[in-house]
Amino acid sequence: MDTELCGLIPDDWRVRSVEDVCLRVTSGGTPSRHEPAHFVGGSWPWAKTQELHDTWLDDTEEHITNEAVACSSAKVLPLNTVLVAMYGATVGQLGLLRRPMTCNQACCALIVDPKEADYRYLFFQLLYARSELKGLATGAAQQNLSGQLIRSLRFPFPPIREQRAIAHILGALDDKIELNRQMNETLEAMARALFKSWFIDFDPVHAKAEGHDPGLPADIAALFPDSFEDSELGEIPKGWKVGAIESLCKSITSGGTPARMNPLFWINGTIPWFKTGELLDGPLIESEEHITEAALKASSCKLWPAGTILFALYASPTVGRLGVLTCPSTSNQAAAGLIAKPEFGVPFLRRTLLEARVRLQTIAVGAAQQNINQGVLKSHRTVIPCAGVASTYSRLVSSLDEQQVSLKRQADTLFVLRDTLLPKLLSGELRVKGVDQSMEAHV
């Protein structure tokens, strides 16, 4: 029996199944990993479900060879194929192929017939139906969607020109959101590269020790020594030291959770309250939940200022993740709030913590519940440069971090706009009356 995910629609729209609008609905495969010739030197991107993030897929972590395609159920899929994750925690996640690729057997591949439907229109219908898709997934150990179920899904389809117009509107918003994300990645890569050069590889010190120009403005170059000395963490620049993370901070404190049973603590709350699941290593702009002034006074919550770094202490996979507050906020007890000393600055402390993550996660993995406590974080040993070098880094990078905040705010606004338009456009409540010439050029 077909599964229908739609309600009342305009008279000129038709309800059609996924199979009706596709040239082919198939799945991928996994070549044998015991054969090096299947993966080594491969040119075909090979997508896994954890790489599907509801946007374009430009490349993948792994690639397979022509021999792997010939010897397995993996197939070369054309560009614009829609991928749907069928198994496990990622069930219902989507991807769009920017170029021909292959995928594993946990992906369902929808190759849309361009005469019958717009591939991005189908993508957005699947995106809007995600909660229903998850509800249809079966299995006790892990939730699964079958290929047959995906084929039978039924959605409302307007005439093809209107599909393209709707896809253009929603796609333009998605493309801008994705562009902002990529720009933020570039800004972060620039800040990370400078941190690595100065504080991990010690490039300016090596250059001066070898009698070379470090390639920095004279006032900045003068901050670096021209020799090294031994330390408990190996060779470090002369005059620098090894110390605890807490020596970089004015304070390190934990959050708290107001009593859930007291509505006065939560209803109409205006104070942001973050959970560790919201920490994604970037700026923290808007929390999922808010608490009241009464909750703040009656609990162990701390109202931290903007610039405080939240660091997740508990539970894999969040342990070690962080975020930077952009306004006064609170968090639950699973996070520690670190306030940087001004002579080191937030950008330097943030990237010191990112660099320390692997070692701290190793400690967490060895614990019974994969947690670390505040004491472990405070006492973690790290290289501490002369304050002038750290503050200079923070000053130079702060403008990059501010740009990241601005781009994130813009993306959040676009997300709200897209999620507002999505149900109205896909149900026909909001009609797109024709396509103007400028839009037709893009579709």
The answer to whether residue 30 sits within a structural domain is yes
Query: The domain that contains 266 carries what CATH number?
Result: 3.90.220.20
What three-state secondary structure class fits 239? coil
**In the chain, count of helices (H) and strands (E)?**
13, 23
Q: What is the pLDDT of residues 173-182, one digit of tens each?
A: 999 999 999 9
| pLDDT higher than 60, residue 284 | yes
Task: Please determine, for residue 443, whether its predicted confidence score (pLDDT) is greater than 50.
Answer: no
| Domain annotation covers residue 267 | yes
Q: How many whole angstroms separate alpha carbon 356 and alpha carbon 349?
A: 10
Residue 251 lies in a domain: yes
pLDDT band at 432 (very low <50, low <70, confident <90, very high): confident
Query: Any idea what DSSP says for residue 81?
Result: P
Tell me, yes or no, whether 188 lies in a domain: no
Instruction: List, for residues 31-40, the tens digit of each pLDDT value.
Output: 998 888 899 8
The DSSP string of 181-214 is HHHHHHHHHHHHHHHHHHHTS-HHHHHHHTT---
Q: Are residues 26 and 136 in the same domain?
A: yes
- Cα separation, 28 vs 83, in Å, equals 10
Give the whole-number percent of the chain exceeding pLDDT 70: 94
CA torsion angle 114 118 120 122 (round to 10)? -110
Write down which residue in 105, 134, 157 finishes a domain.
157
Render pLDDT for 81-132 as a digit per residue (tens, 0 to 9).
Answer: 999 999 888 899 999 999 999 999 999 999 999 999 999 999 999 999 998 8
Residue 176 lies in a domain: no
Q: Are residues 25 and 129 in the same domain?
A: yes
Last residue of a domain, one of 353, 384, 415: 384
| Residue 411 counted as domain residue | no
> Average pLDDT of the chain?
92
Domain encompassing residue 133: 3-157
Same domain, 39 and 146: yes
DSSP assignment of 316-362 equals: TTTTT-EEEESSSBEE-TTEEEEEE-TTT-HHHHHHHHHHHHHHHHH
Q: What is the pLDDT of residue 435?
A: 43
For residue range 44-59, what is the model confidence (pLDDT) as tens digits?
A: 999 999 999 999 999 9
> Residue 382: enclosing H or E segment and its boundaries?
strand 381-384
Indicate if 148 and 7 belong to the same structural domain: yes
Asked whether residue 113 is assigned to any structural domain, the reply reads yes
Is 389 part of any domain? no
153 shares its domain with 31: yes
Per the structure, the count of domains in the chain is: 2
Give the span between the Cα atoms of 425 and 421, in whole angstroms: 6
Tokens of 187: 């800004």
